[in-house]
Amino acid sequence: MPKEPRRAALRLLEGVLTEGKLLSEMHPGLAPMAPEDRARTQRLTSDTLRFLPRLDQLLSQHMERLPDLEVLNILRLAALELVQGAAAHGVVNEAVEACSKLPRHGHLKGLVNAVLRRVSEGGEAAWAALPVPEMPEWLREPLIEGWGEEAIEGMEAAHAAGAPLDITPRDPAQAAALAEQLGGTLLPTGSIRLTEPGKISALPGFDEGAWWVQDAAAALPARLLAAQPGERVLDLCAAPGGKTMQLAAAGADVTAVDVSEKRLETVSENLGRTGLTASIIASDALAFTGEAFDAILLDAPCSATGTIRRHPDLPYAKDGSDFAGLFELQEKMIDHALSLLKPGGRLVYCTCSLLPDEGEVQIEEAQVRNPQLTVDPVPEDLPGLEPEWLAEEGGLRLRPDFWAERGGMDGFYMAVLRKPA
């Protein structure tokens, strides 16, 4: 991986758009970079992907047709910097130099120079006049079918706005004081939202384990489960561990299971930092067996389409071809989790997906396969509960366009399934 931010960002764009890799898969390659260069690389790449259709529209105003991907990515990255206020001289010169080094496209450096000069002259006004970027059709079409055009436009606006940083306090009783100390906003659900956090590990309370990073929507499944002190609770597909820590902080006897030993190392580190305890087991969820649990939280593998506001690479690294396999896996995981549950026990099933097939439909079909299975009503006193979150099938449906005035939230579905006594 190149060590200079612009070159590294181009390499990351190539990985996503050409090789179908997720940014998270390539971020370890940035480790040798200085922290400020690494942060800049990640910001440049994420913002370019977040505004990709809009950048292409901007460039199309100055070209008859868009060039091959190698040159186009140089133009996209440079155009992004220009509309964000970077000095044109340095941006344009580096883009021209990057193009001149391409074996097959070096002769297009003059084109790159001319186009970017025109972009810089148009300034922020031309950029502001362009519409909010739309999701790729392979994803947009099924989401419109599920939620309608207006809702999808709201979600796209939330994706373009990006995501603030949410944290979960270890002690909910200290949430208000912690929010004031951090200069954040206490959200109605109990999470704390920070708009300009800076370096996360330097924030007050990090070293003491007073909180951990977790989107406000992702914090709700554990609150819905409402683990009680002394209950034996299984966190199935536990990494990166936010829900494990919530359950442990509630006083439950937690077993955290995940297939990835590497990701479980992060869970262990976070537990150590927060002073919380849980039994950690590396295992395929479908192969895990053990004494029956009082409650289970299953955050099933899914399309992760609810997290695009934080992961703008997802619509470009994926194409929906894995949907059918994910739906089948989720069915198997629900049935296996039920087999690990005590009679009368409760299972929270959740996915960070916007697709009804990974949420509401899974609950309906689980009840068809298990006719005595019931869905617990969402408690009316759940902190921050809003009526529009309630799903007809039971449970909660959260979307990025909710809380728009507060900065949105991840898309999630969650419901409590009750096993017959």
Q: Indicate which residues carry an active-site annotation.
A: 352
Judge whether 52 and 316 are in contact, CB under 8 Å: yes
Nearest to 333 by CA among 353, 347, 318, 352: 347
According to DSSP, the β-strands at 279-282 and 253-258 are parallel
In whole angstroms, what separates CA 237 from the centre of its chain?
16
Judge whether 13 and 45 are in contact, CB under 8 Å: yes
Type and span of the H or E element at 397: strand 396-398
Q: How many residues does the chain have?
A: 421
Q: Which two tokens stand for residue 383?
A: 């902190």
Contacts of 121 (CB under 8 A, 6+ apart): none
Longest dimension (CA), the chain: 74
Peptide bond into 240 cis (omega under 30): yes
Q: Which two tokens stand for residue 238?
A: 């536990």
Type and span of the H or E element at 375: strand 374-375
Neighbours of 48 (CB within 10 A): 25
Its sign, for the CA torsion 177, 188, 236, 312, is negative
Judge whether 386 and 416 are in contact, CB under 8 Å: no
Contacts of 208 (CB under 8 A, 6+ apart): none
Alpha-carbon span 98 to 102, nearest angstrom: 7
Amino acid letter, 155: M
Positions of E strands within 3-119: none
Alpha-carbon span 339 to 292, nearest angstrom: 8
